[in-house]
Structure 1
Amino acid sequence: EGHANPVELWHNDDEISSQLKGCYTADLFTAKTKQFLVDHQSQSADEPFFLFLSYDTPHAAIQYPAAPYPEGMGVKGGVQWLGEKDRMINTVGPIDSYKHPDYANQGWTDAEVRFATSVRRLDDLMGDLLQTLRDLKMDENTLVVFSSDNGPHSESYIRNVNYNPTSFQSYGPFDGMKRDCYEGGIRVPTIAWWPGKIAPGINQNHSQFHDWLTTFADLAGAAVPARADGVSLVPTLLKNGEQAAPTTYVEYFNGGKTPNYEDYEPSRRGARRGQMQAIFVDGYKGVRHNIQSHADPFEIYDLAKDPGEANNLAGTSPEMKSLQQRMHDRVLQLRSANATAERPYDDEPIPADDSLDADAPMLVTYCPTKTSLVSRLDPAQSTKVDIEEIDLAEAVRSAGKGNARVQTVLNVAKTGRYEMRLTATGDAVLRLHDAALIDTTGESNTDASVEVTLEAGTHPVDMIVRLAGNDSVPALELNELPDAPKQSRKPAKKKRKSK
Structure 2
Amino acid sequence: MYAKAKPKALLLFSLFISLWSSPAKAQSAKSPNIIFVLVDDLGYGDIGVFFQNERKSRNDRSEPWIMTPQLDKMAHGGAMLTDHYTAAPVCAPSRASILMGVNQGHAHVRDNQFDKEIGDNYTMGAVLKAAGYKTIAVGKWGLQGEEEGPDWPTHPLKVGFDEYFGYIRHRDGHEHYPVEGIYRGSTEVYHDYETVEGLDKCYTGDLFTAKAKDYIIKHRDKSPNQPFFMYLAYDTPHAVLELPTQEYPAGGGLNGGIQWLGKAGEMINTASGEVDSYVYPEFRHASYDHDRNSATPEVPWPDTYKRYASVNRRIDDQVGDLMKLLEDLDIDDNTLVVFTSDNGPSRESYLPKEFAPYTPEFFNNFAHFDGIKRDVYEGGLRTATIVHWPARIKGGTVISSPSISYDWMATFADAAGAFVPVRTDGVSLLPSLTGTGNQEPSSIYVEYAQGGSIPNYAEFLEAHQGRKRGQMQMIRQGDMVGVRYDIQGQDDDFEIYDVTKDPQQGVDLSDQRPALQAGFKTAALRHRISDPAAPRPYDESLVPSIEVGNPQEGLTVKTYAINSSWIPKLHEQPLTQKAVKSPSFREVPNRGNLVVWQGYVDVPTAGKYTFSADRGTSHFFMRIHDIGVLDGNFDLNSIPKGTVYLAKGMHPVKIYCMRQSEDASLKLFWAYGEDEKNEIPAKAWYR
TM-score, normalised to structure 2, is 0.67
Report the equivalent of 1:185.
Answer: 380
> Aligned pair in 2 of structure 1 residues 389, 460: CA closer, same or farther (>3 Å)?
closer
Cα displacement (A) at 1:451: 2.3
1:95 aligns with 2:95: no
Give how far 1:397 is off: 11
Instruction: Count matched residues.
Output: 477
User: Residues 444 and 201 of structure 1: is their aligned pair in 2 closer, same or farther, counting only changes over 3 Å?
Assistant: closer
In the alignment, what sits opposite 1:409? 600
Superposed displacement of residue 390, structure 1: 13
Q: Distance in 2 between matches of 1:95 and 1:12?
A: 26
Conserved 8 A contact 2:452-2:468: yes
2:411 counterpart (215, 239, 242): 215
Pick closer, same or farther for the CA change 1:447–1:321 going to 2, 3 Å: same
Residue 188 of structure 1 and its aligned partner are, at CA, apart by: 0.6
* TM-aligned CA deviation for residue 471 of structure 1: 4.7
Distance 1:482 1:89, change over 3 A: closer
* Matched residue SS, 1:276: strand
Q: Which residue of 2 aligns with 1:496?
A: none
Deviation at 1:158, TM superposition (A): 1.4
Alignment match, 2:158: none
* Matched residue, 1:438: 630
Quickly say closer, same or farther: Cα 1:389–1:311, change in 2 above 3 A.
Answer: closer
Change (3 A) 1:356 1:49: farther
Q: Is the 8 A contact 2:554 2:582 kept in 1?
A: no
CA contact (8 A) 1:398 1:469 kept: no
For 1:114-193, what aligned pairs fall within 5 Å after superposition? 114-160=307-353, 161=355, 162-193=357-388
Q: Determine which of 189, 194, 206 is the counterpart of 2:389.
A: 194
Distance change (3 Å), C-alpha of 1:328 and 1:101: same
Q: For 2:205 and 2:248, locate their aligned partners in 1 and report how far apart those are by CA, in whole Å.
A: 12
Taking a change above 3 Å as real, the CA distance of residues 294 and 34 of structure 1, as seen in their structure-2 partners, is same
Letter in 2 for 1:366: T
Partner of 1:35: 214
Aligned to 2:526, what secondary structure does the other structure show? helix
The aligned runs of 1:389-404 (5 Å cut-off) are: 393=585, 402-404=593-595
CA distance in structure 1 between the aligned counterparts of 2:381 and 2:580, rounded to whole angstroms: 49
SS of the residue corresponding to residue 169 of structure 1 reads coil
Q: Structure with the greater relative contact order (CA < 8 A, sep ≥ 6): 1 or 2?
A: 2
Aligned to 1:275: 471
Q: Secondary structure at the match of 2:510?
A: coil
**Residue of 424, 430, 440 corresponding to 1:244:** 440
Post-superposition offset of 1:393: 3.6
Cα shift at 1:357: 5.3
Q: 1:52 aligns to what? A: 231
Distance 1:14 1:211 in 2: 33
Deviations 1:402-434 (CA, angstroms, capped at 9, x unpaired): 332221211112212222122212122211100
Q: CA deviation at 1:209?
A: 1.1
User: In the alignment, what sits opposite 2:66?
Assistant: none
Aligned to 2:575: 383
Distance 2:455 2:203 in 1: 31
**Aligned counterpart in structure 2 of residue 479 of structure 1, from 666, 671, 687:** 671
Among 297, 301, 310, the residue aligned to 2:493 = 297
Deviations 1:47-100 (A, max 9, x none): 111111000110112100112100111101100011111111101122211111
Distance 2:553 2:222 in 1: 55
The aligned counterpart of 1:85 is: 264
| RMSD across aligned positions (CA) | 2.1
Please report how far the alpha carbon of residue 2 of structure 1 lies from its aligned counterpart in structure 2 after TM superposition.
6.5
CA deviation after TM superposition for structure 1 residue 41, in Å:
1.7
Say whether 1:459 aligns with 2:651.
Answer: yes
Name the CA shift for 1:96/1:182 in 2 (closer, same or farther; >3 Å).
same
Deviation at 1:214, TM superposition (A): 0.5
Task: Tell me the alpha carbon deviations over residues 426-481 of structure 1, each in whole angstroms, 9 at most, x when there is no partner.
Answer: 12221110011111233335432222211111101112223312453222223322
- 1:356–1:471 CA distance, 2 compared to 1 (3 A): farther
Contact 1:397 1:469 in 2 (8 A): no
SS of residue paired to 2:639: strand
Unaligned runs of 5+ in 2: 1-180, 287-299, 676-687
- SS of the equivalent of 1:54 reads strand
| Whole-Å separation in 2 of the counterparts to 1:4 and 1:391 | 56
TM value normalised by structure 1: 0.91
Matched, 1:288 2:517: no
Matches of 1:321 and 1:389, distance apart in 2: 39
Which residue matches 1:235?
A: 431
Write the distance in 1 (CA, Å) between the matches of 2:629 and 2:456: 39
Q: For 1:438 and 1:123, locate their aligned partners in 2 and report how far apart those are by CA, in whole Å.
A: 43
2:555 touches 2:582 (CA, 8 Å); kept in 1?
Answer: no
User: Within 2, Cα distance between the matches of 1:460 and 1:150?
Assistant: 34
The CA distance in 2 between the partners of 1:465 and 1:356, in whole Å, is 28
Structure 2 distance, partners of 1:482, 1:31, is 56
SS in 1 for 2:228: coil
Query: 2:583 and 2:523 mapped to 1: Cα distance?
Result: 38
The answer to whether the 8 A contact 1:375-1:464 is kept is no
Seq. identity, %? 37
Which stretch shows the higher mean deviation, 44-53 or 197-206? Answer: 197-206
Q: Deviations over 1:177-228 (max 9, x none)?
A: 0000000000011100111421212222211111110011111110111111
- After superposition, the Cα gap between the structure-2 partners of 1:432 and 1:356, relative to the gap in structure 1 and judged at 3 Å, is farther
